[in-house]
Structure 1
Amino acid sequence: MTTAQHPTPDLSIDGTGLLCVQLLLRLRGRISGHPAGTVVHIHTTDPAAPLDLPAWCHLTGHEYLGPVPHPATDREVYAIRLTAAALPTRPDRPWHPAPADSGTTG
């Protein structure tokens, strides 16, 4: 579905069965190397995702676009847009900013 708020995704990530930390680690790994402006749809069954994804985007600087209407699945789908000024997080802890000399993306 393409709308002004939820354009067609450039990348879809299946986070089915993953809880917060695992979901964010998968997300961070999959977005690495993608350019700013990339729209990512995250498919998840994590009940905390509506809180965790916006908070993680706020921490890193990526743009949280919100839930995506997706009637063909029993999973929730959320959209984010990658930004050029995203801050890296620690390799083992996606909730913690990385040291200034780290090369980890978002």
Structure 2
Amino acid sequence: MTGEHDAPVIIDGGDKSCVRLLLELRGRLAELPAGTIVHLIASDPAAPLDLAAWCHMTGHGYLGTVPPPYGDTPAYALSVAAAPRPTEASSPWRPRD
């Protein structure tokens, strides 16, 4: 388990659309222990809204924007949940029944 002072895991989403970002993010988060802090770098202007909604739906903690050092591209922080709610395989924004 990561500690409070561990460095965050950086995921560079570049200019990917939110759908592609969430697909990649879901896979990457599944590999990380609960409590890990992740910084997602993403230029998609919808990222802060979509990421916050996705975290709420899945149970991951949305921690808000991250100040620089990531240059001009915005970054957003989240905390990996211990038992996230699963989503559809091809639709990361839809809960799995």
What is the TM-score of this pair, normalised by structure 1? 0.81
2:41 aligned partner, one-letter code? H
Partner of 1:46: 44
Question: Cα gap change, 1:72/1:91 in structure 2, threshold over 3 Å: closer, same or farther?
Answer: closer
Partner of 1:8: 7
Measured after TM superposition, the shift of residue 8 of structure 1 is 3.3
What are the ranges of 5 or more consecutive residues in structure 1 without an aligned counterpart?
100-106
Give the Cα separation in 2 of the matches to 1:75 and 1:98: 32
User: How many pairs align?
Assistant: 93
Partner of 1:21: 19
What are the ranges of 5 or more consecutive residues in structure 2 without an aligned counterpart?
none
Partner of 1:97: 95
Partner of 1:32: 30
Measured after TM superposition, the shift of residue 32 of structure 1 is 1.4
Q: Which has the higher strand share?
A: 1
Give the Cα separation in 2 of the matches to 1:72 and 1:57: 22
2:49 aligned partner, one-letter code? L
Give the Cα separation in 1 of the matches to 2:44 and 2:21: 8
CA RMSD of aligned residues (A): 1.5
**Aligned 8 A contact 2:60 2:80 in 1:** yes
Sequence identity (%): 54
SS in 1 for 2:77: strand
Q: Which runs of 4+ in 1 moved over 2 A?
A: none
What is the TM-score of this pair, normalised by structure 2? 0.88
2:67 aligned partner, one-letter code? P
Aligned match of 1:73 in 59, 71, 74?
Answer: 71
Within 5 Å, which residues of 2 pair with 1:54-69? 54-69=52-67
Give the Cα separation in 1 of the matches to 2:35 and 2:91: 24
